[in-house]
Each structure stands twice: as structure tokens, then as C-alpha cells.
Amino acid sequence: MFHRSERLLLRPGWLEDAGELTSRIADEAIVRNLASAPWPYRQEDAETWLSRASNPRFPAFLVTLPGAGGSPIIGACGLHEDAQGTEIGYWIAREWWGKGFATEAARAVLSVARSLGHRRVHSCHAVDNPASGRVLRKAGFSPTGRIRTVHSRGRGIDISAVEFVTELDGCVGGDDPAMMPRAA
């Protein structure tokens, strides 16, 4: 599955992307804020992630920047299922921080989630990563008021994470900001 937003192309990852993906994510400042990525992050980890079985109802995308020297990979964003339902996760390479790409990618994936019939999407961020909370708020999420414990494979410890949720039912339209999800 592919999805286009205003500035980004979200596409599936292929094994051929392993080298570039590794060069983008192998940054401790990124991996420490992800639940499932190991540290240090190696090309074998990228190959494993790229070759995993995919579920069309829970797509994972590489986030690329078309027209920027061959459409480089600048991050990843996708959906997965966990005990609480549908969760969104994302990361953006440090070189592209502060440009709104994480928010744009999250909104694009929420548009895909809506089209796939998901009605509620949740996420969380490490309490020491408030930038991710700002991304979630701008993408239409609201904090639930709960802090939960999640295991950070990159840190090798359990961490406290702030929970967020958004409701997608009743929303229609693509990536039009006026049609973004309602905060719960």
C-alpha cells in the first residue's frame, strides 16, 4: 500500500532499503524512544523488520521525501495491534526533525486507518520525550491522563509512557486538516 500526503510518500519497505533504513534509524536519540527497536541498531535488524510478515489491516510505511535527491527514507510510521487495540508508531531521522514531518506522517497513517475501518487509535510516548507528545496532539490525539509502563528494547528497561487516543469514527476525507480525527 502507498499513500501520498502533501509533502511525503508513504510506501512499503523492501529488503533493498535495509542499508538506507539502518543509516537513518541507527541513532540512539531515536531508538531510545521506540519500544521495539534494539540498540545498537544494525543492518540485520532492518532486514528483519523489512522481511516480517505484513497484515494489510495494520500497514507499516517507510516515510520518504519525494524529489529530495531520489526520495530518501526519512522515517517510518505505521499501525500495529496490541492489547489495547490499534496503535500508531512513528520515528523521523534527526536530520528532518522540527519540520512537521512526524505530524504529517501520523495524519496520513490515520487517514489510512480510517479507510481501513479503524475507529480508535492509541499511542504513547516516553515521559522524557515531550516532542512526541506535541506530534500526537497536532495529529489529533488527546492524552488519556494515564501513564503506563512499557518496555523499551533500545534502553533495555521498562519506562513510563504517557497514553494518547483519538477517535476516527465519523471522520471522512483525506489529509485535509479540517477533517482530522477528533480527540477523545
* Every domain of the chain and the residues it spans: 3-183
Architecture of domain 3-183: 3-Layer(aba) Sandwich (3.40)
Query: How far is the C-alpha of 78 from the C-alpha of 110, rounded, in Å?
Result: 9
Question: What is the predicted pLDDT for the residue at 71?
Answer: 84
Question: What is the predicted pLDDT for the residue at 174?
Answer: 43
Pairing of strands 157-167, 3-4: unpaired
Pairing of strands 182-183, 142-152: unpaired
**Which residues contact residue 16 at a Cβ distance below 8 angstroms, ignoring those fewer than 6 apart?**
none
Question: What is the predicted pLDDT for the residue at 178?
Answer: 39
User: Global pTM?
Assistant: 0.90
Question: What is the predicted pLDDT for the residue at 170?
Answer: 53
Query: How far is the C-alpha of 154 from the C-alpha of 172, rounded, in Å?
Result: 37
The x, y and z cell numbers of residue 154, run together, are 533500545
What is the pLDDT tens value at each position of the chain, 184 positions in all?
999 999 999 999 999 999 999 999 999 999 999 999 999 999 999 999 999 998 999 999 999 999 867 789 999 999 999 999 999 999 999 999 999 999 999 999 999 999 999 999 999 999 999 999 999 999 999 999 999 999 999 999 999 999 999 999 754 444 444 344 545 5
Q: How many CA atoms lie within 13 A of 133 on its CB side?
A: 14
Question: What is the predicted pLDDT for the residue at 68?
Answer: 61
Query: How far is the C-alpha of 82 from the C-alpha of 70, rounded, in Å?
Result: 35
